[in-house]
């Protein structure tokens, strides 16, 4: 490689592209311990993979300890929690509190979505409490998938 080539390469490395937040490369996908539904997880795994994101899908009825331990070991760019059985707001709150107790996971983007209660469109009532409990973003089914897709394009921007 010529000197100029080396310099160009180094400049490229030290010059981060202007204000473009990194897209997630690796995700951990899980649900809450009470939730045995699986197709939501399959659907989300495919949606993430379609975007080039590597997924560790922990499957249905995920124990909280498994989610925390996997996040500690893998340090994913984003944790995605999906729940549809109506208890997501309860299990999801327990889960995020356990996760945020670990200083290493304090700033890791973590989102939850699906049918988070049994109130239909009024499940929006759970959004703020779940954010306060520690989620970076909360997606309710009534809003469709576009907000989540946008989040995946610029997660840090929306979390900040
Ligand atoms: C199949 C099914 C089952 C199967 C599950 C089989 C399996 N292994 O997956 C069985 C029969 C086991 C089952 C059991 C129960 N089920 Co069920 N089940 C369904 C059903 C018919 C389809 C779910 C499905 O597979 N959908 C396909 C997937 C791809 O879509 P989805 O789950 O809706 O997820 C979408 C969105 O919510 C969103 N999404 C989901 N998660 C996330 C996360 C993020 C981050 C984002 C952005 C988006 C997102 O994306 C998906 C695509 O749009 C629904 C009714 C329905 N038509 O939706 C009820 C339903 C989910 N079940 C329900 C209930 C109540 C139960 C039971 C409690 C029933 C009972 N009394 O025993 C148990 C719960 C068991 C448990 N411990 O969790 C309710 C939940 C009520 C609520 N939340 O308001 C529903 C809605 C039926 C109803 N209308 O009452 N169920």
Answer whether residue 11 is part of any domain: no
Answer whether residue 44 is part of any domain: no
Is the pLDDT at 160 greater than 70? The verdict is no
Beta bridge partners of 29: 57, 80
Residue 109 structural domain: 52-115+134-141
State the pLDDT at residue 113: 98
* Digit-coded pLDDT (tens) for 3-59: 444 344 334 444 444 555 578 899 999 999 999 999 999 999 999 999 999 999 999
How far does the centroid of ligand 1 lie from the alpha carbon of residue 60, in Å? 12
Mean pLDDT of 89-104: 98
How far apart are the C-alpha atoms of 41 and 38, rounded to whole Å?
5
State the pLDDT at residue 51: 96
Domain containing residue 93: CATH number? 3.40.50.280
- Characterize 98-123 residue by residue with b for buried, 16 or more Cβ atoms within 10 angstroms of its Cβ, and e for exposed: ebbeeeebeebbbbbbbbbbeeeeeb
Beta carbon of 39 within 6 Å of any ligand 1 atom: yes
Answer whether residue 8 is part of any domain: no
Answer whether residue 35 is part of any domain: no
How far does the centroid of ligand 1 lie from the alpha carbon of residue 12, in Å? 47
How far apart are the C-alpha atoms of 32 and 36, rounded to whole Å?
9
State the pLDDT at residue 158: 53
Answer whether residue 68 is part of any domain: yes
Answer whether residue 70 is part of any domain: yes
Is the pLDDT at 96 greater than 50? The verdict is yes
Comparing 14-23, 125-134, 142-151, the range with the smallest average pLDDT is 14-23
- How many structural domains compose the chain? 1
How far does the centroid of ligand 1 lie from the alpha carbon of residue 5, in Å? 55
Beta carbon of 115 within 6 Å of any ligand 1 atom: yes
How far apart are the C-alpha atoms of 160 and 13, rounded to whole Å?
25
Nearest residue CA, atom 2 of ligand 1? 37
Q: Work out the percent of the chain whose per-residue pLDDT is above 70.
A: 83
Q: Give DSSP secondary structure letters for 145-160.
A: SHHHHHHHHSHHHHH-
Residue to probe by mutation, ligand 1, list 29, 82, 85, most atoms within 8 Å of CB: 85
How far apart are the C-alpha atoms of 98 and 78, rounded to whole Å?
16
Residue to probe by mutation, ligand 1, list 76, 84, 110, most atoms within 8 Å of CB: 84
Answer whether residue 75 is part of any domain: yes
Answer whether residue 64 is part of any domain: yes
């Amino acid at each position: 490689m010529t000197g100029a080539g080396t310099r160009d390469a180094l400049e490229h490395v030290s010059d981060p592209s202007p204000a473009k937040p990194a897209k997630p490369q690796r995700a951990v996908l899980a649900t809450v311990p009470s939730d045995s539904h699986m197709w939501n997880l399959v659907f989300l795994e495919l949606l993430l993979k379609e975007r080039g994101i590597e997924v560790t899908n922990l499957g249905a009825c995920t124990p909280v300890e498994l989610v925390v331990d996997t996040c500690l070991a893998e340090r994913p760019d984003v944790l995605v929690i999906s729940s549809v059985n109506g208890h997501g707001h309860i299990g999801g709150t327990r889960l995020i509190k356990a996760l945020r107790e670990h200083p290493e996971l304090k700033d890791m983007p973590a989102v939850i979505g699906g049918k988070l209660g049994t109130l239909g469109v009024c499940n929006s009532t759970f959004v703020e409490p779940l954010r306060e409990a520690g989620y970076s973003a909360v997606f309710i089914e009534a809003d469709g998938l576009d907000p989540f897709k946008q989040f995946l394009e610029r997660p840090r921007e929306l979390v900040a």
